[in-house]
Amino acid sequence: MAKPKNRSPWTVRLSGQDLQKFRLKSQALAFLAENGHPEPDKLPRGALKQLETAFEVQVIRKDKEGNVVRRSETFDTYLEAEKYAAKQDADLERILQDQGGFEVGYETITVKEVLEKFHAEHYKGMASFKEVGFRIPYLVGWLGGSRKFRELNKKDFEKLQAKLAAEKYSASSQRNFFTVLTSLYKHAARKWHYPVGNPASDMDLPKPANYIERDFKGDERNRLFKSLQAHSPWLIPIVETSLELTFRRGELVQGAKNKKTGEQSGGLMWENIDWELGLLTLEREKNDASKPVSESLGRTVPLTPRLREVLRPLYDSSTTKTGLVFQGTINSVTTSFSNACKLAEPPIKKLTFHSLRKISTKATSKRVNNAMELRRLTGHKNVEVLDKRYYGVQVEELAALLLASSGSVKHRGLAALTKVLGLEDAKKFLKEVQETKNLDDLFK
């Protein structure tokens, strides 16, 4: 084991003079020589002394391929330095046993360098590249960009989690930051062969309340479209398209321009709509990066009658019939939609553009048989969550379904309506029927 070396300052005490302190022994001896004591072995007793305030440890190991690792640190006490030396010796021995050698880059790379390298490599070409790029500087600042990556430990991530909670970051935001960190460690071990575990994993993170489903309440839909017509009429076909078949913002409009390159990505293109076959194709979608090799990228969905009604007039008025269907960006859509909700009379609260996807997915689930089929239309990643969230029967709907056991036409009809339409739409349907004077007209 490497022995700590005393790197403390030297002091000189001569009769009739103030105590002098020097960083190096050579400097102290030069001072003594200038003051009549040129021979180091004949100095007055107590004239030259080294303090015990700084002990340096240098641990040097070499693997079979000649890769040399140096770890050094300075401590206030000899005991601390000795403990550090023992710990580093054990750690380097473990790396040699587990890895068979050293990755020299792992020894010196900083938190800032490793996060930026990981972002550039792992997220390249992913739809989340830009989004994660916004998170990287925050992580660098919180964890200490100049620190060595290998020095990060579980306590650092526990402190980070406490900081995020104290600063009122949502459950989803906290998980997004830690997803980046856990992915970093997986990438570092698999791609760079760094000798790391995953100290950012297994954190007791809060669970986001994604199970809460938003739907239009009362006359919110009418109020929303009235406000859009008054303040952002260009947004109406985008909203209608999303509501018809669960499209995300980035699938309909482009993202913001890259400040460095000026490039933009995303957005629905006229070239990807086949009017004859009745198909609409998205070349890319959010979950492409996680798809297996056997699954094609993007997704193709039917061009429903309602989609034709919304999109065909736009196509007919287009002079080129090529390029983007909708002009605008994710940011402009988000801002304009939020403003429309605020300016509605009365204002609509807690409704976002992403809420439209949830509303549409719930409505679409009434028209398809199972989560697997629904996933082909919506592009959701997790089939199980989709099944639980959109095919879970509400208590009121369950009560209506149980009425079927009575055997009466009335109860069987209520059960069938509720199963197909859902409780709210079933009530609306019955109200329309009630207001119809001639029932035979319903079947024409």
Rounded to an integer, what is the distance from CA 319 to the centroid of its chain?
Answer: 40
Contact 28, 35 (CB under 8 A): no
Residue reference for tokens 């004591």: 37
d(CA 415, CA 396): 11
CA-based nearest residue to 249, from 185, 320, 328? 328
d(CA 326, CA 253): 6
pLDDT of residue 9: 97
Contact 302, 278 (CB under 8 A): yes
Could you tell me the two tokens for 46? 């107590």
Contacts by 20-28, CB closer than 8 A, 24 or more apart? 25/50
Could you tell me the two tokens for 4? 């700590």
Order of strands, sheet of 273-274, starting from the edge strand that comes earlier in the sequence: 273-274, 279-282, 299-302
Residue 272's CB is within 10 A of a number of other CB atoms, namely 15
Residue 266's CB is within 10 A of a number of other CB atoms, namely 22
d(CA 170, CA 164): 8
Class of residue 9 by CB neighbours under 10 A (exposed 0-12, middle 13-18, buried 19+): middle
Amino acid at 150: R
CA-based nearest residue to 222, from 344, 356, 125? 344
The conformation of residue 159, written as its DSSP 8-state character, comes to H
Contacting residues for 152 by C-beta, under 8 A, at least 6 apart: 111, 143, 199
State which H helix or E strand residue 274 sits in: strand 273-274
Backbone angles phi, psi at 71, to 5 degrees: -125, 130
Contact 297, 348 (CB under 8 A): no
Beta strands in 295-434 (DSSP E): 299-302
Beta strands in 64-115 (DSSP E): 68-75
pLDDT of residue 380: 85
Chunk the chain into consecutive blocks of 10 residues (it has 444) and report each block's average pLDDT, rounded to whole numbers: 93 94 96 94 94 95 92 95 94 92 93 97 86 94 96 96 94 94 96 95 82 79 96 97 93 79 80 95 77 74 94 95 92 95 95 92 85 87 80 57 60 70 77 78 63
> DSSP per residue over 402-420, as a string?
HGGGG--HHHHHHHHHHHH
Could you tell me the two tokens for 264? 């933009």
> Would you give the end-to-end CA distance of the chain in angstroms?
93
pLDDT of residue 431: 84
pLDDT of residue 127: 73
Does this model's pTM top 0.95? My answer is no
Could you tell me the two tokens for 30? 């030069």
Buried b (16+ CB within 10 A) or exposed e, 362-396: bbbbeebeebeebbebbbbeeeeebbebbeeeeee
